[in-house]
Chain A
């Protein structure tokens, strides 16, 4: 069953059509990669899903519910969490406070405490630094915090925007390992990445965006062997 369905989505910035009617689906339990160059519309697609930009036409469904006109903050409670581009941790708050904000929509204190233990177990460095302001963490640690924070809402699907951006190669590998692990434990992932090679290597399905349209889609492993994809995105 598709947990996230995008149907004929169009977004305009003034006169400019940034998304020209794209459609794709994210199956429950899968990792779906959305790849494409700068300006292809990846971030716009995510912003439309999260309600940061209004869509001019089309439908977005989350778990079968139409969320096209739903205020963005309500979709967190409906099971969608985010790892935003550039991490966007709350730099003046501590690691612990950041994680607690990740669980903002949850009421049950025991469940939140259990999630916190789970996140600390997965990211021991966050536990070590729990009382430190998030702004003092390194880039890789902030990325881990952003991921841990997204897990705190106990999501069905996590939308990750360029999680490897600006990280050293060691951290990039670690981050992708973590994404694969989160997925193995049952969370669906929609992954938007410029690092197409890495993204395709862990994804099940992939969609290639170019100037506001989906030009290619299919099994991630097959796309990796596609000559056009190789030439344009895998720099071979």
Chain B
């Protein structure tokens, strides 16, 4: 029974990684850049909920909505101000800028909220699910997290496959020049991708802090890195890859904590990544990238 419980908690953590990884992978697919500030958007989203729900006593749905809106605006602004001027610059310059934005967001949070840990309260109010005569206890947070992830994943896949904007995103990620010749606003499409990724990061952050209720300016950093690992694990640029990678990572991490060593869990996660990349350098669902001649 305890194995199932660890497994489900792993799925829940993995769902959070998957949601964050989606942002990484979509932005990478379309802008061919690693947005290392993505993890810190999570932290901003959590502070928005903290301020609105816990300090200002606004209703939870309002807090969540504000958090999503503010993160979306933040993602689009960061892209506009920091990354767009560097389009066409070397990928190293963009990478360093992304790291700079990450530190900037962390330090702004530090300035406003201080380094002290804030205690987050869960936004989930549904009761835990008791199965097998009370021996298996699944928290409401885990249920909501996994369910949100599945719904978002299905919705996002349908959006990309069926909607005009989704098809434009695929076109831009394959060939910006050709996409422009179709009449697609390439910059607008990239901004939309950042908006969606950041909105998902806000959701992921709120779910994460509901399960692990401590909030500091560095809350987003580690999940951000893990989600990046998940994206690479699944095959960066691939949306189903982010989903699979995220879930696998969460499960591996939780089972390692339970059965091997909680100190070693992160090391094991990264070791698994290295092994996967040695065997399949493009990640689990990644495509072979053909260089154009």
A residues engaging B (CB < 8 A)?
A: 50-52, 71-74, 76-77, 81-82, 84, 88-93, 97, 100-102, 104-105, 149, 153
Q: In the assembled complex, which residues on chain A have CB atoms less than 8 Å from the CB atom of B174?
A: 90-93
| B178 & A88 in contact (Cβ 8 Å cutoff) | yes
Binary interface encoding of chain B residues 158-183 relative to chain A, with 1 for a CB under 8 A from any of its CBs, else 0: 00000010011011001101111111
How distant is the Cα of A101 from the Cα of B175 in the complex, in angstroms?
13
17 inter-chain pairs at a CB distance below 8 angstroms, sorted by A residue, are A50-B180, A52-B177, A73-B182, A73-B183, A73-B185, A76-B181, A84-B181, A88-B175, A88-B181, A89-B178, A90-B178, A93-B167, A97-B167, A101-B171, A104-B168, A104-B183, A153-B183
How distant is the Cα of A28 from the Cα of B269 in the complex, in angstroms?
64
| B181 & A82 in contact (Cβ 8 Å cutoff) | yes
Q: In the assembled complex, which residues on chain B have CB atoms less than 8 Å from the CB atom of A100?
A: 167
How distant is the Cα of A80 from the Cα of B232 in the complex, in angstroms?
40
How distant is the Cα of A118 from the Cα of B170 in the complex, in angstroms?
25
B37 close to A (CB within 8 Å): no
Among A71, A77, A84, A93, contact of B170 (Cβ-Cβ < 8 Å): A93
| A50 & B181 in contact (Cβ 8 Å cutoff) | yes
Among B168, B177, B185, contact of A88 (Cβ-Cβ < 8 Å): B177
B184 close to A (CB within 8 Å): yes
| B180 & A101 in contact (Cβ 8 Å cutoff) | no
Q: A52-B177, A91-B174 are in contact. Are A105 and B183 (CB under 8 A)?
A: yes
Q: In the assembled complex, which residues on chain A have CB atoms less than 8 Å from the CB atom of B167?
A: 93, 97, 100-101, 104
Q: A71-B185, A102-B182, A105-B183 are in contact. Are A84 and B171 (CB under 8 A)?
A: no
Residue of B nearest to A47 (CB): B177
B186 close to A (CB within 8 Å): yes
Interface of A is mostly: loop
| A90 & B186 in contact (Cβ 8 Å cutoff) | no
Min Cβ gap B11→A in Å is: 30
Q: A93-B167, A104-B164 are in contact. Are A73 and B180 (CB under 8 A)?
A: yes
Min Cβ gap A101→B in Å is: 5
Q: In the assembled complex, which residues on chain A have CB atoms less than 8 Å from the CB atom of B179?
A: 101
Size class of the contact patch on chain B = 10 to 19
B residues engaging A (CB < 8 A)?
A: 164, 167-168, 170-171, 174-175, 177-186, 287
| B170 & A90 in contact (Cβ 8 Å cutoff) | yes
Min Cβ gap A98→B in Å is: 9
Residue of A nearest to B292 (CB): A86
| B177 & A73 in contact (Cβ 8 Å cutoff) | no
How distant is the Cα of A72 from the Cα of B177 in the complex, in angstroms?
10
Q: Which 8 A-B pairs have the closest CB atoms?
A: A76-B183, A105-B183, A88-B178, A82-B181, A104-B182, A73-B180, A101-B182, A104-B183
| B168 & A101 in contact (Cβ 8 Å cutoff) | yes
Min Cβ gap A63→B in Å is: 15
Residue of A nearest to B176 (CB): A52
How distant is the Cα of A91 from the Cα of B182 in the complex, in angstroms?
15
How distant is the Cα of A74 from the Cα of B183 in the complex, in angstroms?
6
Min Cβ gap B155→A in Å is: 19
How distant is the Cα of A72 from the Cα of B182 in the complex, in angstroms?
10
Min Cβ gap A145→B in Å is: 12
How distant is the Cα of A73 from the Cα of B181 in the complex, in angstroms?
6
How distant is the Cα of A101 from the Cα of B164 in the complex, in angstroms?
8
Min Cβ gap B177→A in Å is: 6
How distant is the Cα of A82 from the Cα of B178 in the complex, in angstroms?
9
| Known contacts A90-B175, A92-B174, A101-B167, then 13 further A-B pairs from the complex at CB < 8 Å, ordered by chain A residue | A50-B180, A50-B181, A52-B177, A72-B181, A73-B180, A73-B182, A73-B185, A82-B181, A88-B175, A91-B174, A97-B170, A101-B182, A105-B182
Q: In the assembled complex, which residues on chain B have CB atoms less than 8 Å from the CB atom of A52?
A: 177, 180
Residue of B nearest to A135 (CB): B290
How distant is the Cα of A115 from the Cα of B184 in the complex, in angstroms?
19
